[in-house]
Amino acid sequence: MGGLLALSRGIDRTSKFIGRSVAWLILVAVLVSAGNAIIRKVFNASSNMWLELQWYLYGAAFLGAAAYTLCEKEHIRIDILYGQWSRRAQLRIDLLGHLLLLMPFVTLMNWMLWPWILRSLHSGEYSTNSGGLILWPGKMMLGVGFSLLALQGISEIIKTLAVMRGDLPDDGYQSSEERVSAEAANRIEAASSETTE
């Protein structure tokens, strides 16, 4: 299990690095959007290239952060039910969800996307909009995003199995917001105990 956990840690590090990096694309997209609006209003000029660039940037941010979001346990859950079950039941639900829902979906998407992406790349496909961009980078983002999500799904399966076997400590289900809140509470408690001593 040690080798699988090392693989899982590597996947997690990659997902976190990419997720944090692509977050900056939102700022770039906002600047492109503002610049496009200013040029259109002030100079009465515009191009579909700027609109399509915004789509590419938002798409890259969303798809690049999907694996990071899964790694941080921030995907939507039905907490009303999930939170009431035992931790063992939660782990089983996570494992079955990853094995029966996530992995078949991302496998199917990758199987269908990559031939479509490669056809676009080899043909040099361009947007049908006047002044539009080439299409394969946008399509490539889909393939990369789903590939990263598949890898993160593998990591989550490894971690869940390791927790169920007792090979990895169980921190319980906590979103990153809950982990930050718990850490802040611990620091406040530590600081207050230091001042009382």
pLDDT for position 168? 76
pLDDT for position 67? 92
C-alpha distances in Å from residue 5, one per residue of 13, 18, 98, 134, 174: 12, 20, 17, 40, 20
Residue 173: closest CA among 163, 186, 188: 163
Take residue 94 and report the two structure tokens written for it: 């996570």
CB-based contacts of 13, cutoff 8 Å, min separation 6: none
Take residue 7 and report the two structure tokens written for it: 């693989």
CA-to-CA distance for 120 and 55, rounded, in angstroms? 18
**Residue ranges of the chain whose pLDDT lies below 50:** none
| pLDDT tens-place string over residues 113-148 | 999 988 888 888 777 777 777 778 888 889 999 999
pLDDT for position 177? 62
pLDDT for position 197? 63
CA-to-CA distance for 37 and 135, rounded, in angstroms? 23
Amino acid at position 123, single letter = S
Cβ pair 149, 106 in contact under 8 A: yes
